[in-house]
Amino acid sequence: MDSDKVLIMTTASSFDEASEISRLLLEKQLAACCSIIQNVQSTYWWKGKIVEDAEVILLIKSLKSVEQKIIEAIKFAHSYEVPEIICIPIIGGYKPYFEWIDNTISRK
């Protein structure tokens, strides 16, 4: 199945921040759905040190055609200097769900 659907993942410092980003993306019709996963422990390198932080994961279901707009919106609303933004192509899935995504996202 050839698909233009994507799953974009970002982390945020709090549920409130992830919720704010979700709302922004939905209001701009850049995402069909955003799912927030709480209670994530992240360990990573930052400025020469290993850091451990509690974070939340935001999973954004959308279209490849609006990926850059999503990246810009996340950068605008995000508190991190360098937010994690990863775009994963969706190569298969439930066709009616994909149709719902198509009918939800603004193609402006």
Number of structural domains found in the chain: 1
* pLDDT-derived band at 46, boundaries 50, 70, 90: very high
pLDDT at residue 108 is higher than 70: no
The mean pLDDT of the chain is: 95
Average pLDDT (8-28) is 98
Rounded mean pLDDT of 26-42?
Answer: 97
pLDDT digits (tens, 9 = 90+) for 55-64: 999 999 999 9
- Rg of the chain over Cα atoms, rounded to whole angstroms, equals 14
In whole angstroms, what is the distance from residue 62 CA to residue 92 CA? 14
Question: How far apart are alpha carbons 108 and 94 in whole angstroms?
Answer: 25
In tens, the pLDDT along 58-106 reads 999 999 999 999 999 999 999 999 999 999 999 999 999 999 999 999 7
**pLDDT over threshold 70, residue 7:** yes
Looking at residue 64, which CATH number applies to its domain? 3.30.70.120
Range of the domain at 68: 5-104
